[in-house]
Amino acid sequence: MIEIDNIHKSFEANNVLKGVYADINKGEIFTIIGPSGQGKSTLLRILNTLERPTSGQIFFDSNDLFSGKKTPVEVRRRMSMVFQKTAVFDMNVFDNIAIGLKYRGYSKTDINETVNRALDEIGLSGYGGRSAKTLSGGEMQRVALARAIVSKPDVLYLDEPTASLDPVNTEKIEDLILHYNKEYGTTIVMSTHDMLQGQRLSDRIGVMMDGRFLQIAAPDEIFSRPGNENVARFIGINNVFYGTVREKYGDGVNGILKSGNVSLIVKSEFKFGDRVAFCIRPEEITVHNHRAEPVKGRNILAGKISGIHRQGRMMYADIDAGIRISAMVTWEQYEGSGFEEGDEVMISFKPRSVFVMGKV
């Protein structure tokens, strides 16, 4: 549906987009994730024809967005956008939602029916006569979403739609996004710096850093097989290491990867002598008492707990085991283990838990 071909965008000497490529499919939720200031909002503004690219092309249903037969205004009628900073007009809620329908020439009967249905969908039935300026931030964002969707756009662009919202209102907005996609088949392209939100909502994710996509894939692929070290660290994998492929092991499918003084059994197609980057998700690592019996077929390392910290319901143990590695357990598992900082432990993980990202 949307083809992004080598898009560059500069603001004077500031190169914001540096060669963006992507294909966005009809009916999918495509989420752009990445740290702040990497070009996510700029790309959305270009897709919505609010900015022109410095170079490159964007095709919308095979029509060149900026030099095709259809004008940007004609194409924009098939799109809607909700901006990061919630914007409502100084009028009542009903008229805020109806404003686009009036410009499109909808009849009064159709407007009443469409807006009242939208108010039901966003959980604000009975709010139509209220001033939009008196609503909470979460309610305003729901009104902005309803205003964007009532004209039934082919594509809905959302720029950090929950950035300033509390968890309760964030969940309501996420539910609406999923509802609009399923109910109306709307293609949704959204940006967020919240990697977990991207995982919850998306059919595919594009990880954007330094003005380009580093990886585009389904959420499970991104989170289990990150494309490189930068993607791995952004999605929360701190266990990123470098090593050298040394030899084949066992049936020849596995290999020995040497990192410093540590040798690991890994599943890898890389060749002997290749210098590679690899990562291990912290939840894939099991922490044992240092007297535990080795488990056949798993990587086993002896180490010492150098630090323990909590993140929500999860506990992270930093372990010096020849490489500094972090393991994650639930609070309940941690309480039952009796582990403390300074304890000697064994850690184990399967060969498939070591993902070799590529040569360096």
Three-class SS string for 173-238? Answer: HHHHHHHHHHHHCCEEEEEECCHHHHHHHCCEEEEEECCEEEEEECHHHHHHCCCCHHHHHHCCCC
Residues 228 and 249 in one domain: no
> How many folded domains does the chain comprise?
2
Residues 166 and 300 in one domain: no
pLDDT for res 69? 66
pLDDT digits (tens), the chain, 360 positions: 899 999 999 998 899 999 999 999 999 999 999 998 899 999 999 999 999 999 999 999 888 888 866 666 777 788 999 988 888 999 999 999 999 899 888 999 999 999 999 999 999 999 999 999 999 999 999 999 999 999 999 999 999 999 889 999 999 999 999 999 999 999 999 999 888 899 999 999 999 999 999 999 999 999 999 999 999 999 989 999 998 888 765 554 566 778 888 888 888 778 888 889 999 999 999 998 877 676 677 899 999 999 999 888 889 999 999 899 999 988 888 888 888 899 999 999 998 899 999 888
pLDDT for res 268? 76
d(CA 197, CA 201): 6
**Residues 240-257: tens digit of each pLDDT:** 999 888 876 555 456 677
**Residues 160-213: tens digit of each pLDDT:** 999 889 999 999 999 999 999 999 999 999 999 888 899 999 999 999 999 999
Residues 27 and 122 in one domain: yes
Phi, psi of 32 (to 5 degrees): -95, 115
d(CA 235, CA 253): 28
Residues 217 and 253 in one domain: no
Tokens of 338: 């009796």
CA distances from 265 to 240, 250, 341 (A): 16, 10, 28
pLDDT for res 68? 63
CA atoms within 13 A on the CB side of 2: 28
Of the residues 197, 232, 267, which one is the last residue of a structural domain? Answer: 232
pLDDT for res 81? 93
CA distances from 131 to 103, 117, 119, 123, 348 (A): 21, 19, 14, 16, 59
Token pair 């710096």 in the structure block, residue:
193
Residues 200 and 264 in one domain: no
d(CA 47, CA 60): 9
Which range of residues forms the domain containing residue 109?
2-232
A 10 A CB-CB count for 100 gives 17
Residues 21 and 118 in one domain: yes
**CATH assignment of the domain containing 250:** 2.40.50.100
Eight-state DSSP code of residue 92: B
Residues 62 and 169 in one domain: yes
A 10 A CB-CB count for 240 gives 17
For 276-340, give the DSSP string.
EEEEE-GGGPEEEETTPPP-TTSEEEEEEEEEEEEETTEEEEEEESSSEEEEEEEHHHHHHH---
Q: Which helix (H) or strand (E) holds 71?
A: none
Of the residues 191, 210, 232, which one is the last residue of a structural domain? Answer: 232
Residues 25 and 87 in one domain: yes
Token pair 């059919």 in the structure block, residue:
203
CA atoms within 13 A on the CB side of 183: 13
d(CA 285, CA 239): 11
Residues 35 and 115 in one domain: yes
Cα 316 to the chain's mean position, in Å?
A: 23
The C-alpha torsion from 190 through 32 and 226 to 313, rounded to 10°, is: -50
